Amino acid sequence: MRAFPVAAFAVALVLRFGAVALLPAMPAWDGVIYARAADQLARGEGYTQRSLDPAAPARPTAFFPVGLPAVLAVPRALGLGSALDLWMQALAGALLVPLGAAFARRVHGRRAGRYAAWALALWPGGVLLSASYLAEPLFALGCGVALLPLLYARRRHRVRALCLTAPALGVVAYVRPTALVVLGLTALGVAALAWPSRSASFAQTEQSALKRSLFANRAGLLARSAGIVALALALGVVPLAPWMIRNARTLGAPVLVSTNGGVNLLLGTVGEGSYGAVPPEVDCPHGMREIARDRCRSERALARIAADPVGWLARGALKLADTFGHESAPAYYVAELLGPPGPRRERALLGMLALSRVAWLALVALAAVGTAALWRTRRSAIAQRPMAALLVLAPIAALAALHVVYLGGDRYHAGVMPMIGALAGVGFATLRRERA
């Protein structure tokens, strides 16, 4: 209990529940689709194109991930309506506080954990997202919880812990497919940490009764590492099997998570690679079936990348800057709930933007210091606590890689906030120690 950040968690609950109580409880942006889909699922109508457009035919769809609508459908199916939607969002956001503290504490000690907890509790974007119908709070919570078995596993039990983490991340992929990229990088890291050092490999080779060569020893390690990664990915896909079977039967292809990969890849080749409407001259024809249109968009995106690889790389840098360089989406989302445009709404938006962006710059700066601190000393976290360091860095790297390839957007970094908060806690602890 001493390790649990009670005060920071209590403050996080008060701020987030306060936001839910004071702000209008209305879906906006993608949240309109999620809320509509949750209503349909609760009524037993299935996940259909009417979640995207009420006038559309009741054909099955997989355009958006089904995870958040499925979670929101549970209280509706129990007769509680939508009253609990945002309270669940607020609770999910508050639970990121002990998660971030746990990651920071494992990688850099108790003081870093305490600072990480307060950074996440007071994070303005997280408070505003509590009033949203967006998937990031639930994804961040699921991703962080899924990694806990590895975070606390002993070295000899890492592969066993990975076998728990992999299907858990498979479940989280229902919310966002980013979880599968996190799983891939994490499994690679676990496999790499299973390799002994060069000196240990040489000693083992010399002492072997069969006097196997170092090359053969490494070949065996490589095969074992490939097996670890393959096992993890296979276990990660197992929870998605029912959804894939459903998609194969209703859509004609075993879609892993969603069919919006093509449009997101195509949007990443237009303008600065951010979210928006696909220009008609770039998009595929209307009237195509969902799977066919997704494939068509992917093909057009790949053709555009091949035609201008330098431009695509430049967009990749812009998408990375958009995803991590500022935090504006929570403020814009809440502003949409405050009524029609006018002076009052503009003042509120400017205030929320100023608070969110300045706080985010401070968090990013501290996280950069924390990242540097993981490598800087001889007894660094990378050397002494490699698994904890991997679990902090791998989700951020996975998110960055995904959005460099697809489209960028500043709200997406909210999905890895326990890890960013942990790095900020490490950074603040490092600065405090240097000043002491």
Q: Read off the pLDDT of residues 369-417 as tens digits, 9 standing for 90 and up.
A: 999 998 875 455 565 788 999 999 999 999 999 999 999 999 999 999 9
pLDDT of residue 380: 58
Domain membership flag for residue 64: no
Tens-digit pLDDT profile for residues 217-261: 677 778 888 999 999 999 999 999 999 999 999 999 999 999 999
Between the alpha carbon of residue 121 and those of residues 13, 88, 97, 354, 361, the distances in Å are 8, 16, 6, 18, 16
pLDDT of residue 219: 74
Among 172, 152, 170, 169, smallest CA distance to 161 is for 152
Domain membership flag for residue 10: yes
Domain membership flag for residue 44: no
Angle ∠(411,84,337) on CA atoms, nearest 5: 50
For the packed helices 290-307 and 309-324, what is the interaxial angle rounded to 10 degrees? 110
Q: What is the pTM of this model?
A: 0.93
Domain membership flag for residue 416: yes
First-to-last C-alpha distance (Å) of the chain:
28
pLDDT of residue 120 exceeding 80, the answer is: yes
Rounded to whole angstroms, how far apart are CA atoms 298 and 307?
14
Rounded to whole angstroms, how far apart are CA atoms 342 and 344?
6
Domain membership flag for residue 370: yes
pLDDT of residue 142 exceeding 50, the answer is: yes
pLDDT of residue 152 exceeding 90, the answer is: yes
pLDDT of residue 25 exceeding 90, the answer is: no
pLDDT of residue 434: 73
Q: Residue 265 belongs to what domain range?
A: 6-25+82-435
Give the total number of structural domains in the chain.
1
CB 431 within 8 A of CB 343: no
pLDDT of residue 217: 65
pLDDT of residue 196 exceeding 90, the answer is: no
pLDDT mean over 33-62 = 96
pLDDT of residue 339: 87
Other CB atoms within 10 A of residue 406 CB: 23
Domain membership flag for residue 11: yes
pLDDT of residue 306 exceeding 90, the answer is: yes
Between the alpha carbon of residue 244 and those of residues 138, 164, 252, the distances in Å are 22, 21, 10
